A and B are shown apart, each in its own frame.
Chain A
């Protein structure tokens, strides 16, 4: 059906018609993330990576279950929990059984809750939630459920790895914590206080504060406080414009010490920081792009850049999601029985394209993998971000970070 006819049809029946018949041979994955509005850049980057990974890692190799291809179906949730739930319903109606989402833990919380209820109320139309980016620890602790799988290291794991590195750095005596005033910012701060206290009791936390999310126009006053505190390092969970604003203010106010952060790369951020961030910005995260861990990863990134020159592989774990889902479907021998697929995914150990093992813990469905400290730099960068020449280079690595960390998850499995 052509687009115009679709539009007319859509207007006429409001896209409300009964379940569309779906192609038998394609396995559809609903990608529910922002594709319009202020966070569209991140959402589109994720979509490009999903489409590329599905093509490159599954479809080009002959698909799964003897020829079924992966198809990514994009749904724009406008980063709103309300819209996400509507799009989830639309996706389920279209017969889609795999839901991928990552931007915003608030949305992830809404989705995991809705999916839990949906699967209980509609046992014949169950779905699996592939969370590739939302890192609120609660999702694999108090709010965990059998249908949710998290492929990114959660905020606690990242902080665990980060504090392991800080522990070895004797030069750091004073740390300043600052974050956005919401669950993720608070989780980062709480984890930092707890873990630094356990690993380096001599470190003084000279500042621990939250600022309103997305409301601060000028971070200069915060920068002044940080400088005045005499901190040797700063830890922040900020993202988006709040990360850029904070980082730029702190650097231009004269801070030359490391800024440890979670999200300060790609989507224009790397380019905006440019040379100011050199030697200052340190990210904690999974996925190694520089130096390329192996030829396969190198070729994968190059092929991606050739197809999407204005986009980056900002979330390397997306390749893991696709590969592991394909394996789980093969192992289960079905793409319709979600209990079997979820069971196959539980406990799976996988050699990822990024040269590290990824293991899905059975107890809470959290992926355990190598976590790196990545430096924002211009040197030895094979794959830059934002075509700026700057990129992230692995500085140090914690192998299989937090593999034995406790979880409060009491998972209920379907009988």
Chain B
């Protein structure tokens, strides 16, 4: 790397991942930063052994696909500062195209080993991002957001009108196991698909990570932080945005292709605005300022969606509350919450926080549980059928129509708030003590 390029890299104001910068090493990765990748690989290989059921694997596949999609989305939002309200389009289009490819394989004798399908999906997503990006990335900010919303709505609407390509509301379905066998696998079983998806998860994540480390990835950050300064450095902000938009489109297409492989069907829901909203939510929940943020967001969101909805009907309400609270109090997301502890940890002062945290956790837990209880009781009292007044919550069965449980829940909630308020000052003190002086505001 030349000195000039190195200078440009300093245009970035904040670090984008938890790993320390190793620019002086002149290599994109060195061995000391390889361990997260190796351990992730080992973990991913071991997961199906721990959770062997078909549904577990389907959910893990879904999670892996969401991770790729969220990371690709964050190439725009986190790294480029571009807020897109219609990003499901690129994943959906890649997926639809791959579904057609699978059908060509099945009916028209096209020769294509399944593991290579994501390349085609990615290229299709890239091609589309290239076209849309040619005009939408001219400006950042609200104009970009609004164009992305408009394009998203247009293409979602086309998915119903253009039946030839999108298959109407039924979508397009196919069979992944009709291609040539690869090393004796025909990919009929979910587990085989899991390993295929995981391989692509690792490849794409690594590729996206490396992209954020290349000069162009760095310039993207510079454009996000200060367009004019980047222009003065001799970079066309428009081209920089366009390039990262295309790269993001490629990985969205890869995610779409994997979706096609996993569920063997693509429908209108894959590219509608709800889907676009969800990926924004996922990414933000995880934390847009960090490379690993979207990964954490995707894992948490998929778990919430599949697990929480098994236990409560009003899971979307909880999700909404969680999202709004995250934006209000932790704008750097769940990863940000973890990241603030790194400085005390490095200073060896994390222990100072242990006691106040332990004190806080009980009232906090009590507050969350009693708050949820209030909502659940209200919901049960309204929705339950006659004679079905008994509800079971946290192992206790009671009559949801009587006042007592509600009073108990309200009292516990109020009590825990009072206790938390009392604890707060000592927690703040502990924080001040634990934070290294240089980082204190």
Direct A–B touching in the complex (beta carbon < 8 Å)? Answer: yes
Supposing A3-B394, A117-B264, A182-B168 touch, asked if A213 and B51 sit within 8 A by C-beta, the answer is no
Task: Name B's interface SS.
Answer: helix
Task: Across the interface, name the chain A residue whose C-beta is closest to B48.
Answer: A16
Q: Which of B161-185 contact A (CB under 8 A)?
A: 161, 168-171, 173, 175, 177
The contact of B310 among A15, A109, A110, A121, by CB within 8 Å, is A15
A212 part of interface (Cβ distance < 8 Å): yes
Q: Contact residues of A with B, CB < 8 Å?
A: 2-7, 10-11, 13-19, 35-37, 40, 44, 48, 76, 78, 80-82, 85-86, 89-90, 92-93, 105-106, 109-110, 113-114, 117, 121, 136, 181-183, 212-213, 215, 306-311
Least distance between B195 CB and chain A CB atoms (Å): 17
Q: Which among B54, B268, B303, B393 has the greatest number of chain A C-beta atoms within 10 A?
A: B54
Alpha-carbon gap, A67 to B298, bound state (A): 45
Alpha-carbon gap, A44 to B263, bound state (A): 26
The contact of A110 among B62, B160, B173, B383, by CB within 8 Å, is B173
Alpha-carbon gap, A114 to B393, bound state (A): 35
CB-defined interface of B133-156 with A at 8 Å, one 1/0 digit per residue?
000000000000000000000000
Query: B171 and A86: CB pair below 8 A?
Result: no
Query: A106 and B170: CB pair below 8 A?
Result: yes
Supposing A15-B306, A81-B265 touch, asked if A117 and B168 sit within 8 A by C-beta, the answer is no
Q: Which among B189, B307, B388 has the greatest number of chain A C-beta atoms within 10 A?
A: B307
10 closest cross-chain pairs (CB), A and B: A2-B395, A16-B56, A4-B394, A16-B51, A90-B55, A182-B169, A89-B55, A93-B55, A308-B385, A109-B170
Query: A86 and B53: CB pair below 8 A?
Result: no
Task: Name A's interface SS.
Answer: helix
Query: A10 and B393: CB pair below 8 A?
Result: no
Query: A14 and B171: CB pair below 8 A?
Result: no
B232 part of interface (Cβ distance < 8 Å): no
> What total count of A-B pairs have CB within 8 Å?
142
- Listed by A's residue number, 6 A-B pairs whose Cβ atoms lie within 8 Å are A3-B393, A6-B311, A76-B309, A78-B309, A93-B56, A114-B263
Query: A114 and B265: CB pair below 8 A?
Result: yes
With a CB–CB cut-off of 8 A, which chain B residues contact A48? Answer: 385
With a CB–CB cut-off of 8 A, which chain A residues contact B62? Answer: 86
B392 part of interface (Cβ distance < 8 Å): yes
The contact of A89 among B58, B157, B393, by CB within 8 Å, is B58
The contact of A36 among B160, B170, B316, B369, by CB within 8 Å, is B316
B59 part of interface (Cβ distance < 8 Å): yes
Least distance between B329 CB and chain A CB atoms (Å): 22
Query: A183 and B170: CB pair below 8 A?
Result: yes
Least distance between A84 CB and chain B CB atoms (Å): 10
With a CB–CB cut-off of 8 A, which chain A residues contact B307? Answer: 10-11, 14-15
The contact of A3 among B60, B171, B311, B388, by CB within 8 Å, is B311
Least distance between B60 CB and chain A CB atoms (Å): 7
Q: Contact residues of B with A, CB < 8 Å?
A: 51-56, 58-60, 62, 157, 160-161, 168-171, 173, 175, 177, 188-190, 263-265, 267-270, 303, 306-311, 313-316, 369, 383, 385-388, 392-396
Query: B303 and A14: CB pair below 8 A?
Result: yes
The contact of B267 among A14, A35, A78, A82, by CB within 8 Å, is A82
Query: A17 and B56: CB pair below 8 A?
Result: yes
Alpha-carbon gap, A35 to B386, bound state (A): 19
Task: Across the interface, name the chain A residue whose C-beta is closest to B316.
Answer: A36
Alpha-carbon gap, A322 to B369, bound state (A): 38
Alpha-carbon gap, A116 to B303, bound state (A): 28
Task: Across the interface, name the chain A residue whose C-beta is closest to B391.
Answer: A3
With a CB–CB cut-off of 8 A, which chain B residues contact A37? Answer: 316
Query: B395 and A106: CB pair below 8 A?
Result: no
Apart from A16-B51, A76-B309, A183-B169, what are 16 other A-B pairs with CB-CB below 8 Å?
Answer: A4-B369, A11-B307, A14-B307, A15-B306, A16-B60, A36-B313, A36-B314, A85-B263, A89-B54, A93-B56, A106-B170, A106-B268, A117-B175, A213-B160, A213-B169, A309-B385
Query: B51 and A17: CB pair below 8 A?
Result: yes
Task: Across the interface, name the chain B residue whose C-beta is closest to A37.
Answer: B316
With a CB–CB cut-off of 8 A, which chain A residues contact B265? Answer: 81-82, 85, 110, 113-114
Alpha-carbon gap, A109 to B172, bound state (A): 10
Q: Which among B55, B168, B308, B316 has the greatest number of chain A C-beta atoms within 10 A?
A: B55
Query: B157 and A105: CB pair below 8 A?
Result: no
Query: A121 and B311: CB pair below 8 A?
Result: no
With a CB–CB cut-off of 8 A, which chain B residues contact A80? Answer: 269
Q: Which among B157, B170, B177, B393 has the greatest number of chain A C-beta atoms within 10 A?
A: B170
With a CB–CB cut-off of 8 A, which chain B residues contact A136? Answer: 170
Alpha-carbon gap, A283 to B308, bound state (A): 38
Alpha-carbon gap, A114 to B171, bound state (A): 13
Least distance between B103 CB and chain A CB atoms (Å): 12
The contact of A307 among B268, B269, B385, B393, by CB within 8 Å, is B385
Alpha-carbon gap, A182 to B167, bound state (A): 10
Least distance between B168 CB and chain A CB atoms (Å): 5
Supposing A4-B394, A81-B265, A213-B169 touch, asked if A181 and B160 sit within 8 A by C-beta, the answer is yes
Least distance between B63 CB and chain A CB atoms (Å): 9
Least distance between B56 CB and chain A CB atoms (Å): 3
